[in-house]
């Protein structure tokens, strides 16, 4: 596609580098933005600028945050004895959206898979263990995908924590949990996080 303006062409390229945005959608967005009011464009630029300059990773739970400690971790009404372990921030948002969970989170950044070059040291596992040892945590809720690699990750963490007095539970499976928490509807996900199951493998290892 050729444009009369290189600025438009650059904007289209920038948009089409985003996931699930093709050339056509990118062009639609660019043309739409070009025609928008100055204020609207300023707002977008400001949001993006903050995303680049000010967004941080929470040093407690490793979710995105505006401050060194995120708003969930610093909320005094949250149950500090309860930590929900998730693979990524999308899963955190899915659980948070149910409104049924009042504990804290820990974002691992994936699951263990040496085949894909992801070892325990590449994930926030040591920080999790440290966090549990330093704080009075009495329950760990594992909300990882029910794949064999997800299970390895749960087993592994379980092994590291075998001498720590702590209850480990998993969220009830069988929910529409086919790999992606994101797609589970809020009702089932909400119910499953309330009726989580004690982790039966704990004694095995």
Partner 1 sequence: MSFQSIKSISLHNFRCFEKLELDFSDRLNIISGLNGTGKTSIIDAIYCLAFGKSYFVSKEQYLLRDDSHFLRLEGQFQNENDMEFIKLILEQGKSKRIEVNGVKRNKLIDHIGHIPIVCIAPSDIFLVVDSSITRRKLLDKLLCQIDNKYTSALYNYNRLLKQRNAVLKRQVQDRTLINTLDTQMESPATYIFEQRKHLLSHWLELFHPIHQRITGELEVCEFDYKSQLLSKTFHEGIAEAKEKDSILKRSNFGIHKDDIVFTIRQSELKNVASQGQIKSFLFALKMSMMHILKEKTKKTPILLLDDIFDKLDETRVLHVLDYVYTDVGSQIFITDTSSIRLENIVKKQNYSHQIIHL
Question: Which residues bind to partner 1, rule: CB under 8 A?
Answer: 112-115, 119-120, 148-149, 151-152, 155-156, 159-160, 178, 204-205
| Burial of 191 (C-beta count, 10 Å sphere; 0-12/13-18/19+) | middle
Q: Say which entry of Zn ion, partner 1, none residue 152 contacts (CB below 5 to 8 A, set by partner kind).
A: partner 1
Q: How far apart are CA 41 and CA 81, in angstroms?
A: 44
- What are the φ/ψ torsions at residue 109 (nearest 5 degrees)? 90, 20
Shortest spacing between CB 81 and partner 1, in angstroms: 26
Shortest spacing between CB 73 and Zn ion, in angstroms: 3
List, in order, residues 6 or more apart from 52 with CB less than 8 Å away.
Answer: none
Q: How far apart are CA 166 and CA 159, in angstroms?
A: 12
Beta bridge partners of 82: 139
Q: Say which entry of Zn ion, partner 1, none residue 205 contacts (CB below 5 to 8 A, set by partner kind).
A: partner 1
Shortest spacing between CB 148 and partner 1, in angstroms: 5
Residues of this chain, 125-184, that bind Zn ion according to CB under 5 A: none
Shortest spacing between CB 179 and partner 1, in angstroms: 9
Cross-sheet strand order for the sheet of 79-86: 103-107, 79-86, 139-142, 167-170, 197-198
- Using the minimum distance from each CB to partner 1, give the nearer residue, 92 or 123: 123
Q: How far, in whole angstroms, is CA 65 from its chain's centroid? A: 12
- Using the minimum distance from each CB to partner 1, give the nearer residue, 60 or 124: 124
Q: Out of 58, 83, 92, 137, which residue is the one contacting Zn ion (CB under 5 A)?
A: 58
- Using the minimum distance from each CB to partner 1, give the nearer residue, 83 or 112: 112
Shortest spacing between CB 154 and partner 1, in angstroms: 9
List, in order, residues 6 or more apart from 2 with CB less than 8 Å away.
Answer: 9
Q: Say which entry of Zn ion, partner 1, none residue 120 contacts (CB below 5 to 8 A, set by partner kind).
A: partner 1
- Using the minimum distance from each CB to partner 1, give the nearer residue, 81 or 120: 120
């Amino acid at each position: 596609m050729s444009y009369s303006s290189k600025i438009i062409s650059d904007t289209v390229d920038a948009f089409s580098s985003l996931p699930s945005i093709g050339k056509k959608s990118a062009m639609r967005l660019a043309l739409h933005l070009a025609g928008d009011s100055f204020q609207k464009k300023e707002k977008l630029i400001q949001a993006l600028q903050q995303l680049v300059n000010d967004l941080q990773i929470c040093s407690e739970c490793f979710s995105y945050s505006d401050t060194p400690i995120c708003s969930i971790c610093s909320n005094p009404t949250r149950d500090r004895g309860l930590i929900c372990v998730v693979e990524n921030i999308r899963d955190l948002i899915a659980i948070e959206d149910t409104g049924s969970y009042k504990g804290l989170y820990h974002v691992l950044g994936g699951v263990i898979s040496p085949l894909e070059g992801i070892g325990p040291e590449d994930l926030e596992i040591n920080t999790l263990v440290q966090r549990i040892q330093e704080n009075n945590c009495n329950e760990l809720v594992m909300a990882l995908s029910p794949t064999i690699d997800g299970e390895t990750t749960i087993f592994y963490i379980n092994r590291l924590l075998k001498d720590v007095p702590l209850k480990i539970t998993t969220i009830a499976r069988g929910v529409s949990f086919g790999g992606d928490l994101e797609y589970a509807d809020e009702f089932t996900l909400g119910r499953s996080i309330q009726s989580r199951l004690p982790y039966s493998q704990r004694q095995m290892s």
